[in-house]
Structure 1
Amino acid sequence: MAVNAAERDAMVRALHLAARGPRGANPQVGAVILSPEGRVLAEGWHQGAGTPHAEVDALSKLDPLEARGATAVVTLEPCNHTGRTGPCAVALIEAGIARVVYALDDPGAVSGGGADRLRASGVDVESGEQAEAAHAVIDGWLTAQRLGRPHVTVKWAQSLDGRAAADDGSSMWITGPEARADVHRRRAEADAIAVGTGTVLADDPSLTARDGDALLPHQPIPVVIGARVTPDDAAVRRHPHTPLFFDTHDLHAILADLHSRGVQSLFVEGGPTLASAFLAAGFADRILAYVAPVLLGGRRLALTDIGVGSLTEARRLTIDEWVPLGGDLLAIAHPVEETDPQHEGAA
Structure 2
Amino acid sequence: MTATAAERAAMTHALEIARRGPRGLNPQVGAVILSPAGDVLAEGWHRGAGTPHAEVDALSKLTPDQLRGATAVVTLEPCNHTGRTGPCAQALIDAGVARVLYALDDPGAVSGGGTERMRAAGIDVVAGEQAASAHALIDDWLTVQRLGRPHVTVKWAQSLDGRAAAADGSSQWITGPEARADVHRRRAAADAIVVGTGTVLADDPALTARDGAALHPHQPVPVVIGARETPSDAAVRRHPLAPLFYPGHDLDGVLADLRDRGIQRVFIEGGPTLASAFLAAGLADEVLAYVAPVLLGGPKLALGDIGVTTIDEARRLIVDRWLPLGADLLAVARPAGAAEDTAGSTLPADEYISRNEGAA
Question: Is contact 1:18-1:45 (8 Å) kept?
Answer: yes
Matches within 5 A, 1:181-330: 181-330=181-330
Specify the alignment match of 1:120 in structure 2.
120
Specify the alignment match of 1:13 in structure 2.
13
1:109-158 deviation per Cα after TM superposition (whole angstroms, max 9, x unaligned): 11111111111110001111111111111011111111110000000000
1:5-50 deviation per Cα after TM superposition (whole angstroms, max 9, x unaligned): 1111111110111001100011000001111111111111000011
How far does residue 169 in structure 1 lie from its aligned partner after superposition?
0.8
Q: Distance in 2 between matches of 1:280 and 1:51?
A: 40
Specify the alignment match of 1:152 in structure 2.
152
Q: Distance in 2 between matches of 1:138 and 1:241?
A: 24
Query: Residues 202 and 338 from structure 1, CA distance in 2 versus in 1: closer, same or farther, beyond 3 angstroms?
Result: closer
Q: Does 1:29 align with 2:24?
A: no
1:36-70 deviation per Cα after TM superposition (whole angstroms, max 9, x unaligned): 11111111100001111000111111123321111
How far does residue 84 in structure 1 lie from its aligned partner after superposition?
0.9
Specify the alignment match of 1:143 in structure 2.
143
Q: Distance in 1 between matches of 2:91 and 2:101?
A: 15
**Which TM-score applies when normalising by structure 2?**
0.93
Structure 1 counterpart SS, 2:143: helix
**Gaps in structure 1 of 5+ consecutive residues:** 341-347
Letter in 1 for 2:17: L
Question: Is contact 1:99-1:123 (8 Å) kept?
Answer: yes
Q: Distance in 2 between matches of 1:327 and 1:267?
A: 24
Comparing 71-80 with 209-218, greater Cα deviation is found at 209-218
Structure 2 counterpart SS, 1:173: coil
Q: Distance in 2 between matches of 1:52 and 1:339?
A: 37
**Gaps in structure 2 of 5+ consecutive residues:** 341-360
Structure 1 counterpart SS, 2:64: coil
Matches within 5 A, 1:46-57: 46-57=46-57
Structure 2 counterpart SS, 1:228: coil
Question: Is contact 1:200-1:230 (8 Å) kept?
Answer: yes
Structure 2 counterpart SS, 1:142: helix
Letter in 1 for 2:85: T
1:273-293 deviation per Cα after TM superposition (whole angstroms, max 9, x unaligned): 000000000001000000001
Aligned residues: 340
Q: Distance in 1 between matches of 2:196 and 2:152?
A: 15
Letter in 2 for 1:285: D
1:312-344 deviation per Cα after TM superposition (whole angstroms, max 9, x unaligned): 11111111111111111111111111797xxxx
Question: Is contact 1:209-1:215 (8 Å) kept?
Answer: yes
How far does residue 218 in structure 1 lie from its aligned partner after superposition?
1.2
**Which TM-score applies when normalising by structure 1?**
0.96
Structure 2 counterpart SS, 1:267: strand
Letter in 2 for 1:96: G
Q: Distance in 2 between matches of 1:177 and 1:307?
A: 33
> How large is the RMSD of aligned CA atoms in angstroms?
1.1
Specify the alignment match of 1:344 in structure 2.
none
How far does residue 168 in structure 1 lie from its aligned partner after superposition?
0.7
Q: Distance in 1 between matches of 2:37 and 2:269?
A: 54
Specify the alignment match of 1:163 in structure 2.
163
Question: Is contact 1:65-1:95 (8 Å) kept?
Answer: no
Q: Distance in 1 between matches of 2:100 and 2:64?
A: 18
Structure 2 counterpart SS, 1:65: helix
1:185-227 deviation per Cα after TM superposition (whole angstroms, max 9, x unaligned): 1111111110001111111111111110111111111111111
Specify the alignment match of 1:343 in structure 2.
none
Structure 1 counterpart SS, 2:65: coil
Q: Distance in 2 between matches of 1:177 and 1:42?
A: 48
How far does residue 238 in structure 1 lie from its aligned partner after superposition?
1.4
Q: Distance in 1 between matches of 2:250 and 2:127?
A: 41
Q: Distance in 1 between matches of 2:328 and 2:339?
A: 33
How far does residue 231 in structure 1 lie from its aligned partner after superposition?
1.4
Specify the alignment match of 1:336 in structure 2.
336
Question: Is contact 1:197-1:226 (8 Å) kept?
Answer: yes
Query: Residues 334 and 220 from structure 1, CA distance in 2 versus in 1: closer, same or farther, beyond 3 angstroms?
Result: same
Q: Distance in 1 between matches of 2:268 and 2:8?
A: 40
Matches within 5 A, 1:22-101: 22-101=22-101
Question: Is contact 1:195-1:271 (8 Å) kept?
Answer: yes
Percent pairwise identity: 77
